[in-house]
Amino acid sequence: MIKTLVLNTIIKEYRNKSLIPIFLVTFAYILGVSYGLEAIEETAKASGFDGFINFKDQRLTFTLSFVQFWAVFICAIMGTGLINSEFNNNIISTFLVLPLKRSTYLLSRLFGGSLILGLFLFICIVVIYIFNWAQLSSLSYFGKTLLCLLILFAVNFSSLLIAVLINLFTSEKIGLMFTLLVFTLIYTSNIYVSLKTTDQILEQGLGIYSSLALLVHYLFPQFGNMVWMGSSLFSKDPQSMNQVLSQSTHFVITSGLWMWCAFFVFKRKEL
């Protein structure tokens, strides 16, 4: 039954035409960055500035950063209708009359949606490697890319979870706007706290924005920090092991707590 639900989710989202333009824009950006940076490098060489401009190590980071941001936007769209649409169309009762736990149904839908996003990211990575093979042919890049994909899969799963939970309370249009607002708050809070330590923020005194930033930063999974963890794999200054452990631990705990909240709400939602 779980396998059937996961496959049903993949087929359902595959038929969602609203995702196609987003995927096309993403691939167009990948091509633009690949050719654009190459053109800048060629111009720099011709002008004698080739020693100052070298995007060999930055191409993958630049492109992945955009793809990661875009994947979160896709999570907001996908999470809006992943389950809410089935309530609106009275399809949900068809599944839940079966000997199927609501928690299993919810988890299967989330996993199926995450697989679609994982496949999307994998295709993006393949396209990036095709157009940057000369710069990214080292075997070390393949291992780093695989680890980065695993991190992004976890981020997408957690993002879908938050989006689905929000949309259990609202209509699809309001849910989409509120989900984008929450995701924006999470990312801006992660950036704000990463630029200053918590002690520095407390020493300066808590205002409305700083209080909200700290609350959101520690209450929700830190998507921004996890994305940066994946991107830093390709930089010359990766994160320390203590940073990786602390951020991963916080992400797992907060994601688990929000998952429990989603199960609790979904089990009590009327059909």
Query: Would you write out the chain's pLDDT as a tens digit for each of its 271 residues?
Result: 566 767 766 666 666 666 677 777 777 776 776 666 666 666 666 666 555 445 555 666 666 767 777 777 788 888 887 787 777 777 777 766 666 787 888 888 888 888 888 887 787 777 777 766 555 555 566 777 778 888 888 888 999 999 989 988 888 788 889 999 999 999 888 888 887 766 777 777 777 887 888 889 899 998 888 887 877 776 666 667 777 888 899 999 999 999 999 989 888 877 6
Whether the pTM exceeds 0.75: the reply is yes
Q: Which long-range contacts (CB under 8 A, 24 or more apart) does 87-91 make?
A: 87/269, 87/271, 88/172, 90/271
Tell the residue number behind the tokens 């984008």, with chain if given: 180
* H-helix segments, the chain: 2-14, 19-47, 58-81, 84-88, 92-96, 102-131, 133-136, 139-167, 172-195, 198-204, 208-219, 223-231, 241-268
Tokens of 232: 């830093």
Q: Do the beta carbons of residue 132 and residue 30 sit within 8 Å? A: no
- Domains of the chain: total: 1
Confidence at residue 33, expressed as pLDDT on a 0 to 100 scale: 66
Q: What is the pLDDT of residue 55?
A: 56
Please give the residue range of the domain that contains residue 67: 2-268
pLDDT at residue 36, rounded to an integer? 67
Output DSSP code: residue 240.
P
**Cα(first)–Cα(last) distance of the chain, in Å?**
20
Here the tokens at position 100 are 């199927």
| The predicted structure's pLDDT at residue 52 | 46
Contact 71, 125 (CB under 8 A): no
Q: Are 14 and 116 in contact (CB under 8 A)?
A: yes
pLDDT score of 161: 92
In the prediction, which pLDDT does 38 show? 65
- Residue 254's pLDDT is what? 95
| DSSP character at residue 222 | -
Residue 271: what residue type? Answer: L
